[in-house]
Amino acid sequence: MMTNYKSEAKKLLSSALGIEINAIEDDASPINIKNWDSLNQVKLSILIEEYLGRKLSTDEILGLISLDYITDLLSKEDSSN
């Protein structure tokens, strides 16, 4: 079964930001989601590290500014395993 990485990314965002999954649009970013602040950015990075089972690099953490980036990060990680 193929993983739906966008759905997984939305679940992680929902958990980190404390919002409903259906409130996360495909163009989600800190610009259009009020709860996506610096504290929740840290929560998001921790949740993604737990999901991936590894530490994120500084560049990866700094890149966590869109749903698309998170989706790509999850899919690339899976394809490298």
List the structure tokens of 31. Answer: 């610009």
| pLDDT bracket for residue 81 (50, 70, 90) | low
Q: Please state the domain count of the chain.
A: 1
CATH number at residue 38: 1.10.1200.10
Percentage of residues of the chain with pLDDT beyond 70:
94
**Mean of the per-residue pLDDT values of the chain:** 92
List the structure tokens of 28. Answer: 């989600």
d(CA 64, CA 77): 15
| Mean pLDDT computed over 14-18 | 97
Q: Is residue 14 part of a domain?
A: yes
Q: Each residue of 26-60: pLDDT tens digit?
A: 999 999 999 999 999 999 999 999 999 999 999 99
Q: Is residue 2 part of a domain?
A: no
d(CA 35, CA 60): 20
- Given a cut of 50, whether residue 1 has pLDDT beyond it is no
- Given a cut of 70, whether residue 23 has pLDDT beyond it is yes
- Structural domain for 34, as ranges: 7-19+27-80
